[in-house]
Amino acid sequence: MELIRQIKDAEKQAGDVIEKAGQDAALLSEQVQKERGEQLKTAQQCRIKAVDEAVSQAAQDGTAQVQQIAETGCEAVSSLKAACSSKANACVEKVLSQLQQV
């Protein structure tokens, strides 16, 4: 009889251990899922921040390039005007002198 009681107690204890292990596994799984969700949220925030920073930097770089191109264009226009003004004046004088001779 004593042996049967000990076997039943051992079975009950084994059942309790199995049930506790199942509960622990469920808690651990829930905790892991929660941590994974937090990590995904943090990673998404980091990605958004990196994209925003890249867009901002690209906008700044683009603005600087546009400014540089505009300055280069203005310099080129000024240079062409300076180079052409003497030729244009000579042409105007030549046309006026020919008109006066007519």
What global pTM score does this model have? 0.55
pLDDT of 83-98, one tens digit each? 888 888 888 888 888 8
4-26 confidence digits (pLDDT tens): 889 999 999 999 999 999 999 99
Sign of the C-alpha dihedral, residues 74, 79, 80, 82? Answer: positive
Q: Which two tokens stand for residue 36?
A: 């994974």
Residue with tokens 């009681």: 5
* Domain residue extents for the chain: 1-102
- Tell me the pLDDT tens digit for each residue of 29-41: 999 999 999 999 9
